[in-house]
Structure 1
Amino acid sequence: MYKISVAICTYNRERYLPQLFESIRKQTIPREYFELILINNNSPGNTKELFENFIAANPDIRSTYADEFNQGLSFARNTAISKATYPLITFLDDDAFISENYLEEVIRAFETHPDMHALGGKIRLHYESIVPSWENKYLNSLLGYFNKGDNSFWFTSRDYPRGSNMAFKTDVFKKIGGFDTNLGRIGKKMTGGEEKELFNRIYASKLNVFYSPDAIVYHCVPVERTTSSFIRKQAIGTGMSERQRTLSQGIISYGKRLVIEAFKWGASFILWGYYLLSFHPAKGTMILAFRWWVSLGLIGKKI
């Protein structure tokens, strides 16, 4: 049976860590088959104390704590990779929690498919309060939602797992390198793109990526994350990240991304009209607003 390193890279999320720790405590596999790695990326609160208290109450869980003083999620993830001692590694968001059989399902998938190098699964939303009026299946990914159905399959280069629910054979990073530290979230800065860039390298190296619907993560959605101001900041950050990622590949790649953005504008207007006629104007209006904000980031608008 494979053993797996469970990596938590955290910045200022003390309110969510106890819930995540509890879901790890309840895992169905024996504790000798996983280790817990927490990378503290300059959190101002009591992150270390929370982790130490959890380990003191669960001394049979092998654990590693480390500080990463270079601000940025990619830096923290790369540090976690360097600390991992098991052949598999999964990255858990610090504002999420996992199903009780999550680690069991991840390990089972890797054992069932020995030619698999990376894995992703469902990410469901856990609302802390009311569901926003603009919520719809086309924008749920803003809140972390990811669901490709109930059947397993092999990913193609057109899609990839999302960061809240992704696992790898640890030696993959020896072959392709770690996360690009020029991309990804930095503190409160809502940039990203590092996961897409990483999986592009995985696909370029002809490595196999699998979708396992039974490996489920729950992403927490506080009310402040559903506000227009938060979505604006996140959308502009998405556009900025795409600008940086594509420009790093050359002006032609950036130009292609602008063409794709134009097509997305067309689809957005179609959806706006659909929701308007369906008497759900808030849903359509947010789709257009999101597209506008992404476009601003894509052409170089700063947050």
Structure 2
Amino acid sequence: MISAIISTYNRERFLNGLFESILNQSISKDDYEIVIVNNNSTDRTEQICWQFMADHPDVKCSYFVETKQGLSYGRNRGIEESNGDLVTFLDDDAIIAPDFFEKTNHFFDAYPTVNAMGGRILLRYMEEKPAWYNPFIAPILGYFNPGDKQKVFSNNYFRGSNMSFRKVVFEKHGGFDVRLGRKAASLYGNEEKELFYRFKENGEVMWYVPEAVVYHLVPIERTTDEFVRRQAIGIGKSERIRTLSLGKAKWYFSVFKELLKWAASFGIAAFYLVTFRYAASRIIVKFRAWVSKGLIFRYD
């Protein structure tokens, strides 16, 4: 059985869409469960979840409140409360393809020694695509699409909107680092990156499986400069926390890589500038500056 873990915080307007996509799965309802972890929401999340469970008594669904604030706390609580031998983490602002559970189950059946996988994440704009859109910045909106072929993750790693595991791997290597990940309205991250590299260092081989597809919803407010700024600074801050926890040398190396990314960013920005895509050129430079600010400078 697969346990679909949803750690949610103040996303009342998205939850019913996610629930509907779960109900439309191609596998039997007997073969999955939903584990909802409410991470101190102040909106109508609780009422919506209880209503869903009342309307669908045929679906195995459990509901918990995690009072320790943070997405990593919520995900770890979901792991503890889950009953399946497989766990998948569903974002509360995403929907899953109708065969998502089927494809996930099929992969783990076909590769019994593999304990972790991640899939493709495509975007669905709720209003309009931003003028600055380009593939280099799209990942901050949730986009993740390394191609059409299954392959072992090497330098890349799975993303939080689409990652699935054998539950036993958490018993072996531990769960998400609670210092990282979003906490309430903050836009910290890197908990998936930290988890991936910790698992990899412990000998786990993890795969990219493009057939398992998730659609990440993009409301208009996530396309503004202010959202990009907060997200980019959060990325930088999170990488600072992650690398410093491994030693100063790791942080220095991360800063060095950031300098290389600056060189690439200037080249990409120049290309967009000469091809008259001014919004894309501008956001490339701003994004890099905001990430660097979070990575290099220590501040709250």
> What's the TM-score once normalised by structure 1's chain length?
0.98
Distance 2:271 2:44 in 1: 47
Q: What is the match of residue 169 of structure 2?
A: 172
Q: What is the match of residue 148 of structure 1?
A: 146
Report the alpha carbon displacement of residue 12 of structure 1 after superposing the two structures with TM. 0.2
AA aligned opposite 1:291: R
**3-state SS of 1:261 partner:** helix
Please point out which of 237, 242, 265 is paired with 1:240: 237
Distance 2:299 2:158 in 1: 27
Q: Does 1:260 align with 2:284?
A: no
Q: What is the match of residue 226 of structure 2?
A: 229
Report the alpha carbon displacement of residue 63 of structure 1 after superposing the two structures with TM. 1.2
Distance 1:66 1:302 in 2: 34
**3-state SS of 1:203 partner:** helix
- The answer on whether the counterparts of 1:42 and 1:71 sit within 8 Å (CA) in structure 2 is yes
Q: What is the match of residue 295 of structure 1?
A: 292
**3-state SS of 1:16 partner:** helix
Segment drifting more, 273-282 vs 289-298: 273-282
Q: Unpaired runs of 5+ in structure 1?
A: none
Q: What is the match of residue 14 of structure 1?
A: 12
Q: What is the match of residue 183 of structure 1?
A: 180
- The answer on whether the counterparts of 1:236 and 1:301 sit within 8 Å (CA) in structure 2 is no
- The answer on whether the counterparts of 1:191 and 1:238 sit within 8 Å (CA) in structure 2 is yes
- The answer on whether the counterparts of 1:236 and 1:302 sit within 8 Å (CA) in structure 2 is no
**3-state SS of 2:37 partner:** strand
Paired residues for 1:213-228 under 5 Å:
213-228=210-225
Please point out which of 158, 162, 166 is paired with 2:159: 162
> What's the TM-score once normalised by structure 2's chain length?
0.98
Report the alpha carbon displacement of residue 270 of structure 1 after superposing the two structures with TM. 0.2
Distance 1:281 1:63 in 2: 48
Distance 2:139 2:88 in 1: 20
AA aligned opposite 1:246: T
**3-state SS of 2:148 partner:** coil
**3-state SS of 1:15 partner:** helix
Q: What is the match of residue 31 of structure 1?
A: 29
Q: Does 1:274 align with 2:235?
A: no
Query: Deviation digits for residues 41-94 of structure 1, max 9, x if unmatched?
Result: 000012122112112222111111100000000000000000011100000000
AA aligned opposite 2:43: G
Distance 1:151 1:94 in 2: 27
Distance 1:300 1:37 in 2: 38
Distance 2:258 2:178 in 1: 25
Identity %: 45
Report the alpha carbon displacement of residue 301 of structure 1 after superposing the two structures with TM. 5.2
Paired residues for 1:54-203 under 5 Å:
54-156=52-154, 158-203=155-200
Query: Deviation digits for residues 222-268 of structure 1, max 9, x if unmatched?
Result: 00000001100110111000111111111100000010000000000
Please point out which of 198, 202, 206 is paired with 1:205: 202
Report the alpha carbon displacement of residue 169 of structure 1 after superposing the two structures with TM. 0.3
Distance 2:214 2:299 in 1: 32
AA aligned opposite 1:69: T
Q: Size of the alignment, in residue pairs?
A: 300
Distance 2:151 2:296 in 1: 35
RMSD (CA atoms): 0.9
Distance 1:117 1:151 in 2: 19
